[in-house]
Chain A
């Protein structure tokens, strides 16, 4: 079966909306309901955060959601159990995103195999070095039809972007600005030179912009330079507004997709 991320990009190359949420937050059993509600509201791709105690690249919102998810009892076995039958209900591309240590403790091979069995399409592990991936894990990921998605930042050199591109499949995660997740200080989309530079490189993979994308304005700006954008912290904040999960998701996604 063709990887769903690939299918998605073959069908649609603009204004893709990807949403990140932390598995097990706000409540342990919210993982599957959130996925289904996101799909219903027209989101194109979902990143399921595997909570970690020490998320180095994340700002306060995702840190706090991770802490609560872990307190709720989220673990890797629990997450795989929750997602076991997900493909009966949805064909939306699903990406698991988290840090290397929990995956390493679970066993990278077992992780890839079980993720693949569930029907996961891609993996993002920001602290897995490119060189380790290429040497130790690339063939494993490919064997299980899992796209490995790498990050680039405004400071990444052209040479390294090309190297990352050559080992990536699915898409390239373009970190918008020098920042951890969830920063709304300044404009995430201010660094237009960087976006233009990457757009001009004619990479083999499409790019999606993330970090600091938090409303329709920043989403639309990101879509001017890349195939789409990722929203994480702003969505996590929206989840715990007053009202039902369903209502909060619907309201938030509509605010991104439709002009006010």
Chain B
């Protein structure tokens, strides 16, 4: 089975570029150039220097001793939360902003859910002196206020998306409309492995540094570069794509993709696309999609703004359908429990998104001699208000 994108932009039957003609020239320009540009020595040199000295890579692979003891297995945390700006998102924005510069673009647009991708985009735009416009759902603007403040501080314009569920899906629609309206000078930095080809492949490649490092670090620590499990949360699926990438063709490494069940799979308030979705088209990609019988996109729900998406990247749809990855779903409450657990056992406050991956530890059933790598995709600073509310810690 092949898990890499094919020459037509598909992963199995998922992927492609289902876009209006107005977007075709831009997407085609990118498709024709992205691999060539990524392979240029001076591009790689600039990218690697920024990843090292600016982003702070490699991020540590940390053996979580107390957490391991609790689950009676061996748990390593890939500390993407220690990246500059607090999540894995910047691995991709650093790469894409360099891509935009080489394509001669002057204006950068992005969508954001939890705000991590928005902050990571605003950050690299400040670094490069580029204009930055971030679309964010009105609901997310309220629940991720610290990241909105950071984006503004960095000089980005944050534009509320007021249609539909006013979350990530709608922010993405608005960003795509902006790109249609500004086809000449604008580059769209998509934040996940979603959208029309070549975005899913390009973003996965920029994020693949995560599994590249895991392999080397695990080899150094255990003598074996292959863990038994790699666990990552999936909204669109960029951190999972990065953590899985170099293990895709190593079947003995089990890949666990963790989706947000929201209030429960059958509650009508969920974002577990692999369970609730069926084949459809969203944001230019053929993938699994939560939708009505009539093909209207359903409004998803999760406490985590970063997982609140009705689709999933086409790579993950393929991994699900082929059985290469095992999909788990975690409710809001289970994720919150995992937040508190990691915080109190290891002194690390995880992001709500990453907490979904941590909460899956109890469902995997790993043996004492096995090794699990959990991709700790982001830190919880942006979620502190939610945490204080839910754990009733105000005024204590």
Q: Which residues on B sit within 8 Å (CB–CB) of A102? A: 294-296
List B residues 170-201 near A (Cβ within 8 Å).
173, 176-177, 180-184
Choose one: A67, A70, A127; the contact of B163 (CB below 8 Å): A67
Are B295's CB and A54's CB within 8 A?
Answer: no
Are A157's CB and B25's CB within 8 A?
Answer: yes
- B190 shortest CB reach to chain A, Å: 14
B281, CB-defined interface residue at 8 Å: yes
Are B25's CB and A103's CB within 8 A?
Answer: no
A242, CB-defined interface residue at 8 Å: no
A27, CB-defined interface residue at 8 Å: no
B291, CB-defined interface residue at 8 Å: yes
Are B291's CB and A105's CB within 8 A?
Answer: yes
Q: Which residues on B sit within 8 Å (CB–CB) of A129? A: 16-19
Are B22's CB and A153's CB within 8 A?
Answer: yes
A104, CB-defined interface residue at 8 Å: yes
When each residue 1-44 of chain B gets 1 if its CB lies under 8 Å from chain A and 0 otherwise, what string results?
Answer: 00000000000000011111110111000000000000000000
List A residues 114-158 near B (Cβ within 8 Å).
126-129, 132, 150-153, 155-157
A225, CB-defined interface residue at 8 Å: no
When each residue 182-196 of chain A gets 1 if its CB lies under 8 Å from chain B and 0 otherwise, what string results?
Answer: 010000000000000
Are A105's CB and B295's CB within 8 A?
Answer: yes
Most buried by B among A54, A57, A126, A164: A54
Q: How far is the CA of A215 from the CA of B149 in the complex (A)?
A: 42
Most buried by A among B24, B164, B184, B280: B24
B293, CB-defined interface residue at 8 Å: yes
Q: Which residue of A lies closest to B176 (CB)?
A: A56
- B107 shortest CB reach to chain A, Å: 13
Q: Which residue of A lies closest to B299 (CB)?
A: A53
Q: How far is the CA of A102 from the CA of B18 in the complex (A)?
A: 13
- A109 shortest CB reach to chain B, Å: 15
- A183 shortest CB reach to chain B, Å: 7
Q: How far is the CA of A56 from the CA of B294 in the complex (A)?
A: 18
- B219 shortest CB reach to chain A, Å: 43
Q: Which residues on A sit within 8 Å (CB–CB) of B173? A: 54, 56
Q: How far is the CA of A257 from the CA of B184 in the complex (A)?
A: 35
A245, CB-defined interface residue at 8 Å: no
Are B21's CB and A180's CB within 8 A?
Answer: no
Q: Which residues on B sit within 8 Å (CB–CB) of A54? A: 164, 169, 173, 282-283, 297
A248, CB-defined interface residue at 8 Å: no
Q: How far is the CA of A132 from the CA of B285 in the complex (A)?
A: 13
Q: How far is the CA of A175 from the CA of B25 in the complex (A)?
A: 14
> Is chain A's binding surface mostly helix, strand, loop or mixed?
loop
A63, CB-defined interface residue at 8 Å: yes
When each residue 259-299 of chain B gets 1 if its CB lies under 8 Å from chain A and 0 otherwise, what string results?
Answer: 00000000000000000000011111000010101111100
- B113 shortest CB reach to chain A, Å: 16
- Given A54-B164, A153-B21, A153-B22, does the pair A101, B177 have CB atoms closer than 8 Å? no
A59, CB-defined interface residue at 8 Å: yes
Count residues of B near A (Cβ-Cβ below 8 Å).
33
Q: How far is the CA of A180 from the CA of B21 in the complex (A)?
A: 11
Choose one: A52, A101, A127; the contact of B20 (CB below 8 Å): A127
Q: How far is the CA of A257 from the CA of B207 in the complex (A)?
A: 56
Q: Which residue of A lies closest to B186 (CB)?
A: A178
Q: Which residues on A sit within 8 Å (CB–CB) of B19? A: 56, 127, 129
Q: Which residues on A sit within 8 Å (CB–CB) of B24? A: 153, 155-156, 160
Choose one: A52, A63, A153, A183; the contact of B296 (CB below 8 Å): A52
When each residue 73-103 of chain A gets 1 if its CB lies under 8 Å from chain B and 0 otherwise, what string results?
Answer: 0011000000000000000000000011111
Are B280's CB and A105's CB within 8 A?
Answer: yes
Q: How far is the CA of A56 from the CA of B177 in the complex (A)?
A: 6
- Given A54-B173, A67-B163, A105-B295, does the pair A155, B25 have CB atoms closer than 8 Å? yes
Are A100's CB and B18's CB within 8 A?
Answer: yes
Most buried by A among B18, B22, B280, B296: B22
- B240 shortest CB reach to chain A, Å: 24
Q: How far is the CA of A106 from the CA of B176 in the complex (A)?
A: 25
Q: Which residues on B sit within 8 Å (CB–CB) of A164? A: 21
When each residue 48-72 of chain A gets 1 if its CB lies under 8 Å from chain B and 0 otherwise, what string results?
Answer: 0000111011010001000100100
Q: Which residues on B sit within 8 Å (CB–CB) of A75? A: 294
Q: Which residues on A sit within 8 Å (CB–CB) of B283? A: 54, 56
Most buried by A among B163, B177, B293: B177
Q: How far is the CA of A43 from the CA of B184 in the complex (A)?
A: 35
- Given A127-B281, A178-B181, does the pair A70, B296 have CB atoms closer than 8 Å? yes
Choose one: A53, A128, A157; the contact of B18 (CB below 8 Å): A128
A254, CB-defined interface residue at 8 Å: no
Most buried by A among B16, B25, B283, B296: B296
Cβ contacts A to B, 5 pairs, < 8 Å: A100-B18, A127-B19, A178-B22, A178-B181, A180-B181
Residues of B within 8 A of A (CB): 16-22, 24-26, 163-164, 169, 173, 176-177, 180-184, 280-284, 289, 291, 293-297
Closest 4 CB pairs of A and B: A105-B295, A102-B295, A126-B20, A53-B296
